[in-house]
Amino acid sequence: MKSFFGSFFGAFFAILIFLASVVGLLFLGLGALQKAGQKAAELPENSWLVLDLSIPITDAPARFDASQVVAGLEGGGEQRVTLREILGGIEHAATDNRIAGIFLTGTIVPVRYASGYGTLREIRLALQRFKESKKPVYAFAYYPTTRAYYLDSVADRIFMDPDSTLVMSGLASQRVYFPGLLKKFGVGVQVTRVGKYKSFVEPFILDKASPEDREQTQKLLDDLWGEITSAIEQSRGLPQGAVQQIVSQLGLIDADAALQRRLVTDLTPLSRVIDQLRQQYGTSKNKKAGTFRQVTVSDYVESFERAGRPDDGSATIAVVYAEGDIVDGEGNPDNVGGDRYARAIRRFRLDPNVKGIVLRVNSPGGSVSGSGVIRHELEQAAGVKPVAISFGSVAASGGYYISTVGARIFAEPSTITGSIGVFGLFLNFQKLASDNGVSFDTVQTAPYASILSPMQPKTDAELAILQKAVDKDYQEFLQIVANSRKLPVDQVNEIAQGRVWAGLEAVRLHLVDELGGLTEAVSYLGNQTRLGVRPVVTEFPARQDLSTKVQEWLSGNERPIVSRLDPFHRELVRFSREFSRLESLNDPQGAYALMPFGLEIE
């Protein structure tokens, strides 16, 4: 009995300690968030708004991270920042007398669909508008990449570390091809597809790019590079073609060459830049601490965004972020689950306070079934309230398919879109299993009952059935695009074929209505619904609060913090990621509307 009570009270007190720890963590987290808001609310005059480009910029609101609790107590904690936060912060700072200027720092490290060129262009335009307030924009560059310099170049002064290099040598897309590896391990591959440019399947069946894929990729790179270099040349006062000439001659641009070619204004280490800002804008307290008055975007936005969040009963515009691969079913936070998104859109359709819906797409597409579920709900919503579409850095294939419902489609010049086509990819493991002493024996009630089984190759008859399904999906895709864009089907077929286009070309081809970003799409709906050009916004997925995160901790589903990897490990991660994308291929019919596999632009 004594032993029993000892065990009982031991377990009881252990539970109490655990609960106390959780409650303590809740208070710590809430305190950190409150501290962040107070920090901006108490912001003194002559403060600088700091935009750290090394933090991934996403569309959807940030998920709460364990590190933010501890880091928040230390005055930091940002692991991700949203596009709307940055745009809102820049706009607010222009008329905030406490803000002296904006300081750009850090180098962009692309993570999945974050910090793409479409997103960066919106920020770049916001910075240009900010400069109209006569407040300065400064940038510090330390080994800046093309993406980082694309933003930095808009600054009034660009400070570059004398020992660093401008890593801007042009755009490249290098893809990985797997057929030899798959054959070595006994994995068979069969495909069905429609569209000569629908190249997602090529890395699994070819050892290099097809002529069609090389053609479309080269065109896409040329269009994107032209947009980037033109923007840089305009900001730096350089003649047309100057950037192309510089990168062609130098490859990598050292600090002296960057200064000589007027790409930067000063060669100064960060410590001296901080000294200058501290002497000019710092208080005596700042000067002793060796810094200047500053505030991060997230901390700054938190102070005034809270007041602008919708109350129950207020009219809003819903912004739905379709960011990631589209999958069948519920999906997870890293992709677009058809059922989950359809449910959210249905909720917004039935909510009388939601006056319109903006679908923000940053997705290469995915499951035909998942895309269809989302599009159906959007179509229902469009019947009762206006729907507008905003394309981010990529809105292709299934991402374009779900967008055809919109009354107006906005895209950036650098948006990767199109890829109107369908394919099926079927791996089989018969030889792999056989080589390792494993065999299969199937009993079925109909000739094609095991048509989607990965344990044997498809017969010619089975492939014909699967190809017929893909052909049907493609024809429906063409008809939907033709109807929504008011174009002849033959004309759509000519520009479709699975080909990807840059946003600027998409406007010319009438696949997109006009150039613009998320701000323009929200303003458009605000005008359409008489809520004004700056309507109150409701977001999905919504910002994750601390209580939700605690539940995730308890379930053991915490996500890792993004870290910067060296080039070798980055390539290993990329290689692993390409294979892991196969996990998102869960369409019940094995049919997919996805842009080219592994298309990444650096």
Amino acid at residue number 493: N
Q: 484 catalytic, yes or no? A: no
Contacts 24+ apart (CB under 8 A), 551-556: 553/66
In the chain, the largest separation of any two C-alpha atoms, in whole Å, equals: 90
Residues 6+ positions from 516 with CB-CB distance below 8 Å: 390, 410, 411, 412
3-state secondary structure of 251: coil
Retrieve residue 226's tokens.
Answer: 């032209």
Q: What is the dihedral of CA 448, 453, 458, 464, to 10 degrees?
A: 50
Retrieve residue 136's tokens.
Answer: 């300065």
From residue 289, how far is each of 75, 278, 292 by CA, in Å?
14, 10, 8
- Rounded Cα gap, residues 225 and 245, in angstroms: 13
Q: 198 catalytic, yes or no? A: yes
Question: Is the C-alpha dihedral spanning 261, 153, 44, 133 positive or negative?
Answer: positive
- Rounded Cα gap, residues 40 and 44, in angstroms: 9
Q: What is the dihedral of CA 289, 100, 157, 270, to 10 degrees?
A: 10
Retrieve residue 519's tokens.
Answer: 């701000």
Nearest of 398, 313, 408, 308 to residue 357 by alpha carbon: 408
Residues 6+ positions from 123 with CB-CB distance below 8 Å: 51, 57, 83, 86, 87, 90, 151
CB 100 within 8 A of CB 134: no
3-state secondary structure of 33: helix
Please tell me whether the peptide bond between 541 and the residue prior to it is cis, using omega within 30 degrees of 0.
yes
> Residue with structure tokens 């933010």?
68
3-state secondary structure of 7: helix
- Among the listed residues 199, 369, 397, 584, the single catalytic one is 397
> Residue with structure tokens 């107590």?
73
Question: Is the C-alpha dihedral spanning 79, 85, 87, 93 positive or negative?
Answer: negative
3-state secondary structure of 294: strand
End-to-end, the C-alpha distance of the chain in Å comes to 69
From residue 362, how far is each of 336, 398, 412, 518, 592 by CA, in Å?
10, 11, 12, 11, 17
Q: What is the dihedral of CA 493, 499, 502, 503, to 10 degrees?
A: 40
> Residue with structure tokens 């810094």?
291
- Among the listed residues 198, 355, 385, 458, the single catalytic one is 198
Helix (H) or strand (E) holding 122: helix 117-131
Q: Please work out, in degrees rounded to the nearest 5, the angle formed at the alpha carbon of residue 484 by the alpha carbons of 542 and 515.
A: 65
Question: Which positions are catalytic?
Answer: 198, 397
